[in-house]
Chain A
């Protein structure tokens, strides 16, 4: 079986990379300084949340905008369960506290003590309690995921997006009301949540690894295919036996579980739980990460998260005070870049003229502004300074717009990173022989008695049938085309075409890969399938690539015209 070896190799490669990443992280935690450490931890935590959002948004194709709500639930539950006693006493002694003795007593430590597990209540075993709290937080969020999943059964598209957005906001707003104040401590929230987990690269990256593992395995499984079917066409998915309700709710629940985990790590990272840590901008960041990285691609989403976290963490210089000429130079450079980029884009997509007036004007304005700002920094209009608050988010929004305009499917589109791709193993591009056979099958002119296939003089259907299996003698028919790749692959038995099917060849870059499948069946059934397709006499038709139109012609009777239009419209939709 040719598929076996690469799989073992891939596992080894993956393990090797995991080990290297582990070493790098250990180094970063030890020597790298607090800023780097925080950035990496933030990447892991937001990565978990973005990946889980991608299960609903990318894989299942449901636009959900309420992810921060699930994070809030997971975060608050974790915080409440893990809060150290000193912090609890502070809360209960605060005059404004709304927490009741009951909620103040809700802790994993208390539960362990009540169960007689004294060994697990020591400071040294805090990590066990944190893990339990994290899991409970995830599970509670999952229950809420189930609840939100239910409207998703009746609503679609924009309506559902609005409902999920409303849900996220409702969670945050009701959490601040007096009804839930005993649990959330109102607007004060909790302070003093242990931060050694949310800031630990070991913890956060281990959980990120688990999330990535679970979600990618899920995507490339029977369940993942069912979810993708829902994304592609709900009606068809249902007609193919996919129980819509069950699968959508499953997607929401799993997604909410990991969002809850991310929320728990987030409060630990911030060492406090407050309602304003869970604003909509969190979901916005994840949506940017998903759109930039590639909707539906988990590895792509991690790349997108890296971009977002980098801008967020290292974007402070953008929001400082600078003299006006610096800003003008910056804006000029950006406009110039937009003009040049536009021309480059037009060249790449073969639009003419490359130098569209708009690109020229943009480039010219940019160049002039840049030049003036650089050459005459002391010019009077440049007096003064300017500070751009919120520049980081503006940058992210601009990034989002640019990606949407230039590559709406994101950097990675739906494909995942894979070793086969990295090592340039294109596993399913048709071989020359297969291409030739396909061309032969779908070209009626070659297939017609007396047509090209019969040029050698074979008259009867039997001969035509044996030609059909793939021995069409292209060279004898086109003596001038000796150098063409098609005939050589056909004529040369031991040529490159003699390999087992799936070892050679490949497929377009964006296609997911399977290791198994295909080859024996092709040979067995192919040899009987092809001759059947050969017509005894008769009919060459129009080129099948044109078949859509041909169908209309074939039964083009005026009475059908109006309906035909309708059908065509639906077909395109």
Chain B
């Protein structure tokens, strides 16, 4: 059974058709990239999957159970977590606290037990700390050590992106939606994050759907690429096939196809 299956999903905002009859599947353990020009509807797709928006029509299923009509926190409970394109961290809280919060749902202990620090609460708290460090350890010393207790507002932009990814992992979801994970990173950091995303799949066992503008990252890690334009899927397949697809060249890369060959070669 597919991990995620999106069936004929449409969404419009007023007159603007942000997503149109979109269908695709993601198999367990895959890394699938969604690409497309700005405003193509990539973030809207993420919002539809995670319950921020409800599709006008169509169905979205996680391992056979429909997610339509569920609130974002229920979608997380079902097993899909996301990062945000614009970074939505809990800025005044520390890195560690940011990564502890997503585990609250799974290790829920009644509040009065938390106040009295009962044995079951302490156990839950211990496990939460372990999981948090596990998620953060994907990023090595960049987020560990003294960074753990630093408030997020002192972090660099790249470290905030990393914290968001660790936070999404800590939800315990099976599937991660990463919205432009390398935005704001320099080439070296982009390389590093590429390897980390691969390790998230290989070592963490996550299925990953990601939106990205950096073509070399997409080419390097994607098992499959889905191209959106004006809310429609215009191509799907291996990276090499997709970037040479004439429809993609025309719609996604437009007149500037000379850039495309450059990027494709990178």
Binds A, one of B21-29, B77-85, B223-231: B77-85
> Which of A226, A444, A517 has a CB less than 8 Å from the CB of B96?
A517
B145 engages A233 (CB within 8 Å): no
B72 to chain A: which residues have CB within 8 Å? 235, 238-239
**A561-573 near B? 1/0 per residue, CB < 8 Å:** 0010001001101
B141 engages A530 (CB within 8 Å): yes
Distance of A554 Cα from B259 Cα, bound (Å): 13
B52 to chain A: which residues have CB within 8 Å? 235, 239
* A531-565 interface with B by 8 A CB criterion: 532-533, 535, 538-542, 544-545, 547-548, 550-551, 554-555, 557, 559-560, 563
Is B119 in contact with chain A by the CB < 8 A criterion?
no
Residue of B nearest to A564 (CB): B38
Closest Cβ of chain A to B76, distance in Å, is 4
Binds B, one of A22-30, A125-133, A168-176, A520-528: A520-528
Contacts A233-B89, A244-B73; is A551 near B101 (CB within 8 Å)? no
B185 engages A547 (CB within 8 Å): yes
Distance of A508 Cα from B92 Cα, bound (Å): 12
Distance of A244 Cα from B76 Cα, bound (Å): 13
A510 to chain B: which residues have CB within 8 Å? 151
A550 engages B184 (CB within 8 Å): yes
A513 engages B38 (CB within 8 Å): no
> Which of A222, A414, A521, A526 has a CB less than 8 Å from the CB of B114?
A222
B37 engages A559 (CB within 8 Å): yes
B contact residues, total (Cβ < 8 Å): 84
B96 engages A514 (CB within 8 Å): yes
Is A241 in contact with chain B by the CB < 8 A criterion?
yes
Distance of A250 Cα from B115 Cα, bound (Å): 13
A233 to chain B: which residues have CB within 8 Å? 88-91
Is A185 in contact with chain B by the CB < 8 A criterion?
no
Q: Which interface residue of B84, B129, B133 has the most chain A CB atoms within 10 A?
A: B133
A541 engages B148 (CB within 8 Å): no
Contacts A241-B171, A547-B186, A559-B254; is A236 near B148 (CB within 8 Å)? no
Residue of B nearest to A427 (CB): B149
Residue of B nearest to A251 (CB): B111
Contacts A226-B104, A242-B104, A532-B192; is A511 near B149 (CB within 8 Å)? yes
Q: Which interface residue of B76, B87, B109, B141 has the most chain A CB atoms within 10 A?
A: B141
Residue of A nearest to B182 (CB): A551
Distance of A241 Cα from B73 Cα, bound (Å): 4
Distance of A437 Cα from B139 Cα, bound (Å): 14
A225 engages B100 (CB within 8 Å): yes
> Which of A226, A525, A545, A548 has a CB less than 8 Å from the CB of B140?
A525
A221 engages B114 (CB within 8 Å): yes
A235 engages B88 (CB within 8 Å): yes
Distance of A529 Cα from B142 Cα, bound (Å): 9
Residue of B nearest to A447 (CB): B188
> How many pairs, one residue from A and one from B, have CB atoms within 8 Å of each other in the complex?
249
A530 to chain B: which residues have CB within 8 Å? 140-141
Is B102 in contact with chain A by the CB < 8 A criterion?
yes
Distance of A447 Cα from B188 Cα, bound (Å): 9
A217 engages B115 (CB within 8 Å): yes
Binds A, one of B8-16, B120-128, B239-247: B120-128
Is A431 in contact with chain B by the CB < 8 A criterion?
yes
**B238-266 near A? 1/0 per residue, CB < 8 Å:** 00000000000000001010010000000
B104 engages A542 (CB within 8 Å): no
B89 to chain A: which residues have CB within 8 Å? 232-233, 236
Distance of A550 Cα from B158 Cα, bound (Å): 11
* A104-144 interface with B by 8 A CB criterion: none
B145 to chain A: which residues have CB within 8 Å? 430, 434, 501, 518-519, 522, 526
**A200-229 near B? 1/0 per residue, CB < 8 Å:** 000000000000011001100111111011
Is B94 in contact with chain A by the CB < 8 A criterion?
yes
B259 to chain A: which residues have CB within 8 Å? 557
A533 engages B140 (CB within 8 Å): yes
Distance of A250 Cα from B114 Cα, bound (Å): 13
A243 to chain B: which residues have CB within 8 Å? 73, 105
A544 engages B185 (CB within 8 Å): yes
Is B7 in contact with chain A by the CB < 8 A criterion?
no
Q: Which positions in A face B, CB cutoff 8 Å?
A: 213-214, 217-218, 221-226, 228-229, 232-233, 235-244, 250, 254, 414, 427-431, 434, 437-438, 441-442, 444, 447, 501, 505, 507-508, 510-514, 516-519, 521-522, 524-526, 528-530, 532-533, 535, 538-542, 544-545, 547-548, 550-551, 554-555, 557, 559-560, 563, 567, 570-571, 573
Can you name 9 A-B pairs with beta carbons within 8 Å? Answer: A232-B91, A233-B89, A242-B105, A434-B146, A517-B96, A532-B196, A533-B140, A539-B191, A563-B39
- Knowing that A240-B76, A241-B104, A521-B144 touch, tell me 5 more A-B residue pairs with CB under 8 angstroms: A221-B114, A508-B150, A521-B137, A525-B140, A544-B189
Q: Which positions in B face A, CB cutoff 8 Å?
A: 37-39, 50, 52, 71-73, 76-77, 81-82, 84-94, 96-97, 100-109, 111, 114-117, 121, 124-125, 128-129, 133-134, 136-142, 144-151, 154, 156-158, 167, 171, 183-189, 191-192, 195-196, 213-214, 254, 256, 259
